[in-house]
Structure 1
């Protein structure tokens, strides 16, 4: 994808460190203004997101103050979710690659025939199937101000950049037709995964172990901005991740198998969605397992989604003396 990384909306929300405290701020251009409860019209960010008054914030862009340069503050995760719902296997090309690779092992058909069969399977899944979800821990949400400490118990930590929905008005069993009215905005998440902990050697019949493989401290770098939904057209957003300057993921949200209304509706069937909750929409092809190159000490990931900004995550090795959980 070709796009200019950065925040393109006239304004957005962010959270930044102010000494020992974390404050909510209004971002416009290269500046940020600290928002108090009176200006926000709510006691907390999630209370605001339940019924966001964006016009109120837009007026502050012209009249609010004082403003500080973004370069003078340390941004952290822009959200404080109660729940995190994550979508698996939701980029058509990525899943076709995976299915074709698994079919190729014992199949006499040509590569083209195998991929055509895999594509038909994905089209059938989109038409008649349901999204696949798993749960993340809110404690894993951090900003890119926090280095990603790679646990010493594995050397197979991987990246998965994802467009992330920030829920506004909460709801239970939301219809597809009403789904987008429950979206407050969007942000960026990088769903870090420890590949050799996805499946257990001691209990192979139990399936994927998402708790162990995806929920270490700091495994969900988020932000840096929360961009209001009305500034974002999610139909064809570029999703790009560079590792040490080399392009690893490069895709468009137009390749999603299940669109946002389908995801929101399906995610709300089991449990009500709350203001501020995160819904990750899946990651495209190009993770480390694909390239045969997993994360190492000193790596720098730059993840950009068109219009939502760029997060820069620096990796450091955990002290091996900490032991194996």
Structure 2
């Protein structure tokens, strides 16, 4: 498995990252542990979670359950040193955690301690802010995102305060690196500038949605990533399963994401199935598994650090692992580009 530097740190992560957000709702403890062990056999060393997981659905009763499941694996003898563990601090609007309070310098120590307890570890390799306090254009909010939010002076001051609290965690050894999620180019650049002013931890990575169907990252964010060494950790690279083809022809498999979330978080639109058909056609004509093609394509992007995939059964996991061995020809890449131009922004 290819290894890639996490920003300007000395941490190297696998090009594929094991996502965990279904562990504790759609997956049992034993199923989750089996996924960890199989991914480790396949030379994956990167695991992503969050204090708010699991999802499908999100509920107050399940907050922290996924981290707890990972901690149980370590408790049962799993080697902590085998994994780069990333987790996230919930914030504004995530009402099931701290009543949706924003991320602040006052919430960081308590939140880090909670994750450490559940994960049964002394340190977190990558600590990420799950959502900007001022809001985000992600999750289909790009259609009406209002950039005229809080005073930018106050935003910068809050960032500096948070970086001070994060540096205190670095100093006591509880976190190794800092990352963002669901952020914008402007926001990321403000964090980078604040780090230069304060000496606090520099943003190492960005976790935003990215797939053949969701390519918002390809413009300003891509340029920022390349020139500032803030690599993308792509979530939903299979567009919550749409790119597998399993939902074509109005199919809704039992236990699938669509059976639990009918509009797929706004991804199910009148145009999306025609776009999926275009990519399925490319895969079929070139003898490729569509899931592996979608994951392999993500790994070719110049700003990509690691591609986060999830699985609800071992067969799905095996397909995803196989993407590491897929090389896409120039012809396939050209056809993908043509399909994207024919089906831009399908949701």
In which range does the TM-score fall when normalised by the shorter chain? under 0.3
Going by fraction, where is helix more abundant, 1 or 2?
2
Higher relative contact order (CA 8 A, sep 6+): 1
Q: Which has the higher strand share?
A: 1
Instruction: Please give the TM-score of this superposition, normalised by the length of structure 1.
Output: 0.26
> Which TM-score applies when normalising by structure 2?
0.24
